[in-house]
Amino acid sequence: MELCPSVKNVLLLDSEGNRVAAKYYCDDWPTNSAKEAFEKAVFTKTQKTNARTEAEIAMIENNVVVYKFVQSLHFFVTGGEDENELILATVLQGFCDAVGLLLRGHVDRREALENLDLILMCLDEIVDGGIILETDPNVIAGKVASQSVDAGGPLSEQTISQALATAREHLTRSLLN
């Protein structure tokens, strides 16, 4: 008997139901087409509901799915039939808010894809192999952000040519804007 609360998947879809990022932690959906079919079912069943102010909930294919829509992104967390709904909702809240923090409030498909590395790291910090790792959005975002602040790397590690290239890029951008 599985006693530890577990998450079956965490999904991030755009407003048309396309996958932005998804992570599956169990073998219920072994192939990509099975995954896509599940995502489609989840998206169509929840599409017309209003899950903006509060997280919503539905039973889909004998799973509990909690979900929330923020701007143009749809967040989902799936658990087993008997899972404590509020535990799943806590995971969902952590995911939504952490993504909100990481994307600095621009929660849309484009912003998410442009910062996909952050989103994927964020997923990695929330659930590990189905076990809940962290649910506090500030802690999650903090762990992800601390690692990406200096993504450019300290200047000393950049070669001259790279430094020049970066500078050129900055210049062109400032000229164009």
State how far the Cα of 175 lies from the Cα of 169, in Å rounded to an integer. 10
Q: Residue 171 CB, nearest distance to other proteins (Å)?
A: 13
Q: In the window 22-81, what residues touch other proteins (CB under 8 A)?
A: 22, 32, 35-36, 49-50, 54-59, 66
Instruction: Beginning with the edge strand found earlier in the chain, give each strand of the sheet holding 73-79 in spatial order.
Output: 19-24, 7-14, 73-79, 63-70, 56-60
Residue closer to other proteins, measured from CB, 10 or 101:
10
Which residue among 86, 138, 167, 170 contacts other proteins (CB under 8 A)?
86
Could you tell me the smallest distance in angstroms from the CB atom of residue 137 to other proteins? 14
Site string for other proteins, 110-149 (x = CB under 8 A): x--xx-xx--xx--x---xx-xxxxx-------x--xxx-
The CB-based long-range contact list for 60-65 (8 Å cut-off, 24+ gap) reads 63/8, 63/28, 64/88
- SS3 string, 13-41, reads EECCCCEEEEEECCCCCCCHHHHHHHHHH
| List 10, 89, 98, 126, residue binding other proteins (CB under 8 A) | 89
Cα–Cα distance measured from residue 108 to residue 32, given in angstroms and rounded to the nearest whole number: 24
Residue from 3, 62, 105, 155 in contact with other proteins (CB under 8 A): 3
Least distance in Å: CB of 159 to other proteins? 5
The Cα 46–Cα 69 span in angstroms is 10
Give the SS3 label for residue 153: coil
Give the footprint of other proteins on this chain (CB under 8 A). 1, 3-5, 19, 21-22, 32, 35-36, 49-50, 54-59, 66, 84-87, 89-90, 109-110, 113-114, 116-117, 120-121, 124, 128-129, 131-135, 143, 146-148, 150-153, 157-159, 162, 165, 169, 173, 176
